[in-house]
Amino acid sequence: MSISMVIKIVIAIWAVIIAAVVAIRIVNKNKTKTVQAGHMEMVGNSNRKNRLFTLYKIYKNNAITRKTFSKVESRIRLLYPADEISIHLEATKTMNRGFRRAGIVFGILTSMGVCNVFLVKSIDFYYILLGAILAWRIFIRTVKGRLEQAEFRLLKQYSNFLFNDLVPSYQKHHGHLDEAIYSVIDELPTLMALHATRIYDVVKSPKLEEAAAAYADYAPNNFFTSLVSLIVPTKLYGDKTLEDGKTTFIKGIMNLNKQLNEELLMKQRLDAAFSSLSIITLSGVFMMPMLRWFFAHFFPQTTTFFNGTTGIVVELIIFIVTFLCDYLIDALKNTSKQEIREHSVWEKLANRPALSPILNVQYSRHFTVLNRIDRKMKATGDHTGIKAYMVECAAYALIAFVVVNVFFGTSLISRTKIALNDFSNDFTNVIVPSETYKKQMEAISTTLTYQYKGEHLTDDDIDRVKDDIRNEESVIKSDEYVTPTAEAIIAHNKDFHNVYFKFWYEFIAILAAVVAFNTPKNLLSFKAKAMEMGKEDEVNSFNLLATIFMDMDGIKVETLLEWMERFSYYYKEAIVECIVTYPMGKTKALNKLKDYDTLDTFQRFIESLLNIDEVGMKKAFADIEIQQDFYAEKRKADNETLINRKRNAANTIGFIPFYATMALWMGLPMGLYAYSLFKQFSAQISSLM
């Protein structure tokens, strides 16, 4: 490929990127504004709307983007409860931002791969592959980050709404909730006004409990559901003035706002703790091509490492470790509940008639272990089933086994080509009158290596090889050029016959398959451990419900269980089962719910539920009220511990790829090179002695 062609390709790539960026910036120039609460409309000309709707249709109907766009749209529907057109356009703009940043990253790395022609006269597909993978990661992070920013902004507005708007308005309107909410809607920021309108609709509904149950399905998070859980009993049973002069409703608002502010603080601290870690984690994969170029130019003897089996295996290991660590850091940072996954490709495969009976047998044989894994899956939001998990493990193992064998096969082909054709580094230390001599030495070496590939040459054959070199039509006749050429031919002949599929390759492939087979289990354990704090948060939300209901008359255990089910994520399945079996035996149903998890705070809460019928709700949950300050301080301490633990774990994980690159991609070839020099030095000393 000529240099002019390379320049044209680079210019074309950047022209496309710049044109796309300019086009998207024009599309996003005008902002969205709200005309009235609950209704949003785009301000701009019809051409802009048409472009956005065209992109919306592409994202919605394209097989590649359909699933991701559907998730983004669902999340935006919770955060922006506007009309469907506004939701479609907001989701489209979110996708546009992700693709814009991903396109820039992919364009830069692709250009670097193409520009590699100037250095080594070939396109570096490593950068193109890295660009594709990194672009996808950038896209996911950009979209996710935009949604997280919107949620954080909403929570801040919600906190102000509770303390600065709702409480004063509630007191002003003498406990009339509908009037208290309606009177402040017009004064709220756009986003919060939309959510306040929805809550107002629940308050005004003639079927209050049904409307509240429906609201739990589209509330953006549990903090909004908590407010509705305060509103419903207040409307049904009335507010109650407590000994300290506060009402039950205002006390609940204060507790809710306190937890909300702690959540906001924790999110801010987590963002600060995880900043810049991705750059450190991904630095290794960017350094590898640069280090390879450095060693090729200043230590050409190390090219056998980078072009051989060891180099390819090391490159693969660093690549996998880097993106695995990047995924683990994301899992550590994520404090929100995982999306419920009901279906997957593994589930479809597991339900095939040919596989399902086999999986059933394996499930029966390993019931205890697999049942424990199934519970972890459900706790992390994966409801695809244990058979889908088994298929996933087997598929990972098979893919790893095949990929490792393919890499070894590719390595053998590459080493064979190098042994037969590549003599570019064999004559770097030979002083020649001109480049013509060196080119002829390389050409003769290639010709004779092909000629001898059916023989096993040894050092004793050097004279015969020298004679064959002199018989070739070239300027290479003198011993000072013939001898290094003959030595190179013999060395490459040995390399050629040393290239074959060795039995220990299969041991490495089997080891990789075993590691891959256990990867879903290890990732699941890691995710479950990272989300363990979420269970304590959920129990804290149960405690908040108890403090809300404990001062109200007429509240039954079934009512509290129903609200727990609306709040629940980790315990949802167990609570639903308890609600179903509760009429057939209260004590038995609650004891089974208690045995679902060994978390101390969860078990104490269920014990309080068991005591309600005997002592009443007020006394059953008296310890929660008495130790409320203690629980608040404990929660702060737990949050601090959680952040420190996550920060330390993320720092450790984030530096693993960097250290692996330094050790395996820089230290190992230098160590092997130093060892070869030591062997040469030892051989020279031995010959002198």
Cα separation, 541 vs 259, in Å, equals 9
Give me the pLDDT at residue 269, please. Answer: 85
* Residue 630 parent element (H or E): helix 628-660
Q: Alpha-carbon distance 672 to 299, whole Å?
A: 12
Beta strands in 524-588 (DSSP E): none
Task: Quote the pLDDT of residue 533.
Answer: 63
Residue whose structure tokens are 């891959």:
516
The H-assigned helical ranges of 308-354 are: 309-333, 345-350
Distance CA 514, CA 366 (A): 18
Residue carrying the six token digits 């993106």? 323
- Residues 6 or more apart in contact with residue 21 via CB below 8 angstroms: 100, 103, 104
Q: Nearest 5 degrees, angle CA 665-CA 668-CA 671? A: 140
Query: What values do phi and psi take at 35, rounded to 5?
Result: -85, -40
Greatest CA separation for the chain: 112
Q: Could you please report the per-residue DSSP string of 371-436? A: HHHHHHHHHTTB-S-HHHHHHHHHHHHHHHHHHHHHHHHHHHHHHHHHHHH--TTTSTTS--SSHH
Q: Where are the domains of the chain?
A: 422-500
Low pLDDT (below 50) residues in the chain: 1-3, 6, 30-45
Mean pLDDT of the chain: 80
pLDDT at 12: 59
Q: Tell me how far apart the alpha carbons of residues 370 and 317 are, in angstroms, rounded to a whole number.
A: 29
pLDDT of residue 123: 61
Query: What pLDDT, on a 0 to 100 scale, did the predictor assign at position 602?
Result: 86
Q: What is the pLDDT of residue 35?
A: 35
Contacts of residue 332, defined as CB under 8 A and 6 or more positions apart, other chains included, come to 274, 530, 646, 649, 650, 653
> Which residue bears the tokens 């180099």?
311
Q: Residues 354, 355, 360, CA angle at the centre, nearest 5°?
A: 125
Tell if the pTM clears 0.85, that is, is over it. Answer: no
How many whole angstroms separate alpha carbon 216 and alpha carbon 355? 38
* Pair of tokens at residue 228: 């509705």
| Cα dihedral 325→328→330→333 (10° resolution) | -120
Give the model's pLDDT for residue 40.
Answer: 38
Given this model, what pLDDT does residue 45 score? 47
Q: Could you give the CA distance from residue 468 to residue 452 in angstroms, rounded to a whole number?
A: 11
In whole angstroms, what is the distance from residue 465 CA to residue 137 CA? 54
SS3 of 340, please?
A: coil
